[in-house]
Amino acid sequence: MNQKGRSWLRQSLEDARILSAYDVGETIEGLARKLGKKPSEILKLNSNENFFVPKAFLKSILEEVVEETDPRIYPRDEKLELEEALGRHVGVSPRQIVIGEGSDQLIDLMSRAFLRHGDSALSITPTFPMYEQCVRIQGAKFAAIPLREDFSLDIDEMLDLARSDAKILFLCSPNNPTANQFELKEIQCLLEEFDGLMIVDEAYVEFSEQSVASLIEKNENLVVLRTFSKAFGLAGLRLGYAISNIDLASTLSERFQMPYVATSIALKTGIRLLQRIDLIKKAVEEVKTERKNLIERLNEVSGVHAFNSQANFVLMKISNDSDEVNRALLDRGVIVRNLGRVLHVENCLRVTVAPPDMTERFIRELKEVLSG
């Protein structure tokens, strides 16, 4: 590489440093090594994973899928079959489905498809940080409208910005990390006023009361994102999908998406889980039951206030310094998400809703840390 080429590369690397790296937090194996513990002794509650779908059930499905899969062949029929299954599951045409390698990849896909250097996109704050990351990678501008103190949408402020020349509006509902779901009438209002593409991320919708998917029929500028990572318990396989009108979905799939975006294993596993949807629904109901228990238990702890949730995680405010509490929990082998300040609320932690035995340990460890 000549000097000019090296200079270009160095400048590109320097420019990339303005992008924020997504922090996945501590891992089970990493923390176990630090503490000299077995991985089984680590309680991981920081990534909103679903521990209510039985591991043995998922492993049995994976064993079946692996047995029937020829890894030498590119996935094709599996993708079409999953689109058919998702169409039946959601109640739309299979042609309205876009398969992705998790909803993260679909966020990136639509940012690449519809944003150019100098364009602008909107979202709220606080919310899932990948929206801003994907927008800025395209060299586009990003604006975030703070939620109100009760975590609701500031519709007036959003409408002012929505009437600008923004190309995309990202909205996570239920929202991460606040765990609340926004009202359908507010989303419809934004859709009517916004000329760009509105992407509603429903990663946690199975744990909530409603979906905006019914609005797609009358709103050609709406895309709804879903994932298999949460309700279906497939975070490790990376599988997601988008729902939109047929023209938009076909354009995304045929012109912008990679031809083999998900593995045969992931696609076939998704199909099998949709065939066993009753077990998934049962796991979701168990999450809702334990979520109610977790919120009640947390609010009984002195110095803790847990907010209501429509997701599979709970946001809570603690009276102690969240950095210190987080470090103390890590020393005990407990991993939660340390958020610090969320809007006007200081010292916030986010914790995954987990089965009762895991909840019991978390509550016990938290009480001891807070009283220590």
Q: Using one digit for the tens of pLDDT, what is the confidence trace for 94-140?
A: 999 999 999 999 999 999 999 999 999 999 999 999 999 999 999 99
Q: Convert the pLDDT of each residue in 15-64 to its tens digit.
A: 777 777 777 788 999 999 999 999 999 999 999 999 999 999 999 999 99
Which pLDDT score, from 0 to 100, does residue 164 have?
78
Q: What is the mean pLDDT of the chain?
A: 95
Q: Do residues 19 and 35 touch, judged by C-beta distance below 8 A?
A: no
Percent of the chain beyond pLDDT 70? 98
Kindly state the greatest CA–CA separation across the chain: 66
Residue 347 has pLDDT above 80, yes or no: yes
Q: Do residues 228 and 199 touch, judged by C-beta distance below 8 A?
A: no
Ramachandran category for residue 103: left, alpha or beta (phi over 0 → left; psi -120 to 50 → alpha): alpha
Q: d(Cα 44, Cα 358) in Å, to the nearest integer? A: 9
List the beta strands (DSSP E) in the chain.
43-44, 97-100, 120-125, 141-146, 168-172, 197-201, 222-227, 240-243, 304-306, 313-318, 334-335, 337-342, 345-352
Q: Convert the pLDDT of each residue in 139-187 to its tens digit.
A: 999 999 999 999 999 999 998 887 778 999 999 999 999 999 999 999 9
Residue 275 has pLDDT above 60, yes or no: yes
Q: d(Cα 371, Cα 350) in Å, to the nearest integer? A: 19
- Of 343, 280, 336, which is closest to residue 313 (Cα–Cα)? 336
- Of 199, 158, 214, 207, which is closest to residue 180 (Cα–Cα)? 207
- Domains located in the chain, CATH noted: 25-48+279-371 (3.90.1150.10), 55-275 (3.40.640.10)
Q: Going by C-beta distance under 8 Å and a sequence separation of 6 or more, which residues neighbour residue 287?
A: 50, 52, 207, 312, 353
